[in-house]
Amino acid sequence: MAKSLLPDDLWALIQPLLPAHRPSPKGGRPRIDDRAALTGILFVLKTGLPWAYLPRELGCGSGMSCWRRLHAWQQAGSWQRIHDAMLQHLREYDQIQWERASVDSASVPPLGGQHTGPNPTDRGKLGCKHHLLVDQRGLPLVASISGAQVHDSRMLIPLLEAVPSVAGLAGRPRKRSAKLHADKAYASRAHRAWLRSRGIAPRIARYGIESRERLGKWRWVVERTLGWLHRFRRLRIRYERRADIHQAFLSLACILISWRYIQRFC
């Protein structure tokens, strides 16, 4: 079970990108090794199980030990480094399709906490949003969270600016797609002008003009990837009160989806 959660080839890619542990000169209890801790984190991500119920049979230590490691790696920027490394590996094989990118979001119900707010589409109940930008084939390039009351259009520019510069081929690293597809929630003159100023052709549906049939045929990939993200049960409902922990789970899910692309195309 533990082996299937974190296979050897995936661990070989991740291990060098985790921060080195410096033992305390005062000694203390033996530390759970990084692979075991990450296995426990993946188990919680996939099953949605509370940390306190993490099975001891997995050999991952306690749920609190795994939580602390997840938090420490998030603070160290480890998840971003790992995702960047996977994107670079894919680009080395020319497997990132920059011709078109798509952006969308999905709401998830939370138990409360940071980056939540009243959902205007669900009678003002608390909600959280997952915002996602993918390439033409649905590969996640960047993902972030916000409260449900935050309009999608407010997250467009932060998402695009958060896309890492991906090296791997001859020439300059790349971070921008040629075209960006989005639904009418992102329609505004200011956003179109901003995109054009950066060499990105906006393909954003306009109210009363473009139909879903005309421009929506390219957006299904981002909807599919959002569906993949929400197969991870820890992301279906936001259990974490801390925004950084929920963001860590979202980033880790993007890493696992990117790993599937590496297995298939590289």
Q: Where are the alpha helices (DSSP H) in 48-77?
A: 63-75
- 58, 131: one domain: no
- Cβ distance 257 to 229 under 8 Å? yes
- 53, 184: one domain: no
- 7, 114: one domain: no
The verdict on residue 33 lying in a domain is yes
- Name the residue range of residue 46's domain: 2-22+29-75
State in Å, rounded, how far the first CA of the chain is from the last one: 26
What's the pLDDT score for residue 114? 54
**Number of domains forming the structure of the chain:** 2
Residues contacting residue 222 through CB under 8 Å, at least 6 positions apart: 102, 103, 104, 132, 133, 134, 138, 181
Amino acid at 36: A
What's the pLDDT score for residue 209? 61
- Cβ distance 237 to 113 under 8 Å? no
pTM attached to this predicted model: 0.92
The verdict on residue 250 lying in a domain is no
Taking the C-alpha atoms of residue 111 and residue 241, their distance in angstroms, rounded to an integer, is 7
- 42, 161: one domain: no
What's the pLDDT score for residue 206? 81
The verdict on residue 159 lying in a domain is yes
Strands (E) across 94-215 are located at 100-108, 117-118, 126-134, 140-147, 179-182, 201-204
Token pair of 252 as six digits:
């880790």
- 101, 185: one domain: yes
What's the pLDDT score for residue 217? 82
Residues contacting residue 168 through CB under 8 Å, at least 6 positions apart: 88, 89, 90, 91, 92
Q: Which of the residues in the chain have pLDDT under 50? A: 117, 122-123
CA dihedral in degrees (216, 143, 15, 73; nearest 10)? Answer: -170
The verdict on residue 71 lying in a domain is yes
The verdict on residue 68 lying in a domain is yes
- 235, 118: one domain: yes
Strand 126-134 to 100-108 pairing: antiparallel
What's the pLDDT score for residue 23? 74
The 10s digit of each residue's pLDDT in 124-149 is: 556 899 999 999 999 999 999 999 88
193: domain CATH number is 3.30.420
What's the pLDDT score for residue 211? 54
- 182, 121: one domain: yes
The verdict on residue 167 lying in a domain is yes
How far, CA to CA in Å, does 101 sit from each of 37, 43, 175, 183? Answer: 34, 31, 11, 12
